[in-house]
Amino acid sequence: STKFVIEGLKSTIEGKEILKGINLEIKGGEIHAIMGPNGTGKSTLASTLMGHPKYEVTAGKVTLNDEDVLEMAVDERARAGLFLAMQYPSEIAGVTNSDFLRSAINARREEGNEISLIKFIRQMESKMKELEMNPEFAHRYLNEGFSGGEKKRNEILQMMLLEPKIVILDEIDSGLDIDALKIVANGVNAMRSEERGFLIITHYQRLLNYVKPDFVHVMMQGRIVKSGGPELAERLEAEGYDWVKEELGIVD
Ligand code: ADP
Ligand code: MG
Ligand code: MG
């Protein structure tokens, strides 16, 4: 079964330390939420785990099913089953959504075992229907001219087709109206399985009304400073973050 372990992870950007020792263990079947004020390093954690070249790991260990993730190149991490839906998905001019998706799927498969075009189209169309996406999005250039909500739905489409082992969603709920939020949440819930773990990064508790987390962690100043269950997210929503700072004597 899936097991993703982060131990003492530190990372820097342009020489500035952002992650100051992150410890987290995600098993298949579990949903973990990370909440925290802006600028505390949530997106940095996501990007560091995926191997974004801007971030330098200065300490710690990350393993997926006992394999050393930090040793892997970006594409190897994806092949190993890590997936990140980015807070700000990038546009790729000249590459259609369906071409991008099909090559992403094939990049995770052995040579000679590529998905057939017919099978791919059938799968893509059925997932797009589930996400209530306009079929024309298959043929549009990746994220080009997509609204915020369309980009987020498209990230979920990618997740559904790639069937990763560990899913990291970075503020997938931002910019979504309530109907789109429910569709995205349904997509996530449909992908819940004993073999798959989730790390949901969010600023607001809203999404967690629809995707019930097993564990909620509070991140501040590059560290996970508090962990609990769903009730922790509810308290943060009601009372903000100040009480956590007071409780832990954090000054900013
Ligand atoms: P969050 O996702 O929690 O809002 P981020 O991980 O985006 O936080 O940012 C964490 C910190 O890293 C912030 O202080 C931010 O200013 C800093 N940071 C992010 N990107 C850069 C960059 N390209 N250069 C320098 N500092 C950055
Ligand atoms: Mg932010
Ligand atoms: Mg962020």
Tokens of 247: 């409780």
Smallest CA separation from ligand 1 atom 7, residue = 43
163 by Cβ neighbours in 10 Å (0-12 / 13-18 / 19+) ranks as middle
Residue 130's contacts (CB-CB under 8 Å, 6 or more residues apart) are 160, 186, 187, 190
Smallest CA separation from ligand 1 atom 20, residue = 13
Task: Determine whether the shortest distance from the Cβ of 202 to ligand 1 is under 6 A.
Answer: no
CA 137 to chain centre: 22
Query: Residue 4 — very low, low, confident or very high, per pLDDT cuts 50/70/90?
Result: very high
Smallest CA separation from ligand 1 atom 27, residue = 13
Task: Determine whether the shortest distance from the Cβ of 13 to ligand 1 is under 6 A.
Answer: yes
pLDDT tens string 39-76: 999 999 999 999 999 999 999 999 999 999 999 999 99
CA of 240 to the centre of ligand 3 (A): 17
Q: What is the pLDDT of residue 188?
A: 94
pTM for this prediction:
0.95
Task: Determine whether the shortest distance from the Cβ of 159 to ligand 1 is under 6 A.
Answer: no
pLDDT tens string 144-193: 888 888 999 999 999 999 999 999 999 999 889 999 999 999 999 999 99
Q: At what angle do helices 178-190 and 117-130 cross, to 10 degrees?
A: 130
Q: With the C-alpha atoms ordered 190, 191, 196, 198, is the resulting torsion angle positive or negative?
A: negative
Task: Determine whether the shortest distance from the Cβ of 18 to ligand 1 is under 6 A.
Answer: yes
Measure CA of the first residue to CA of the last residue in the chain; give whole Å.
40
Tokens of 235: 């308290």
Distance, in Å, from the CA atom of 97 to the CA atom of 95, rounded to the nearest integer, reads 7
**pLDDT of 252 over the 90 cut:** no
Task: Compute, in degrees rounded to 10, the torsion defined by CA atoms 76, 194, 162, 128.
Answer: -160
Q: Which ligand is nearest to the CA of 86?
A: 3
Q: Please report the DSSP string for the chain in residue order.
A: --EEEEEEEEEEETTEEEEEEEEEEEETT-EEEEE--TTSSHHHHHHHHHT-TTEEEEEEEEEETTEESTTS-HHHHHHHTEEEE-SSPPPEEEEEHHHHHHHHHHHTS-TT-PPPHHHHHHHHHHHHHHTT--GGGGTSEETTT--HHHHHHHHHHHHHHH--SEEEEESTTTT--HHHHHHHHHHHHHT-BTTBEEEEEESSSGGGGTS--SEEEEEETTEEEEEE-HHHHHHHHHH-SHHHHHHHT---
Q: Which ligand is nearest to the CA of 170?
A: 3
CA of 116 to the centre of ligand 3 (A): 36
Task: Determine whether the shortest distance from the Cβ of 216 to ligand 1 is under 6 A.
Answer: no
Mutating to test ligand 1, I would choose from 20, 22, 44 the residue with most ligand atoms within 8 A of its C-beta, which is 44
Task: Determine whether the shortest distance from the Cβ of 48 to ligand 1 is under 6 A.
Answer: no
Which residue reads 């300490």 in tokens? Answer: 59
Backbone angles phi, psi at 83, to 5 degrees: -135, 135
Q: Write down all domains in the chain, each with its CATH number in brackets.
A: 3-91+163-248 (3.40.50.300)
Q: With the C-alpha atoms ordered 235, 39, 227, 245, is the resulting torsion angle positive or negative?
A: negative
Average pLDDT taken over every residue of the chain = 94
Q: Which amino acid is at 86?
A: M
Q: What is the pLDDT of residue 88?
A: 87
12 by Cβ neighbours in 10 Å (0-12 / 13-18 / 19+) ranks as middle
What is this model's ipTM?
0.94
Percent of the chain with pLDDT over 70: 100
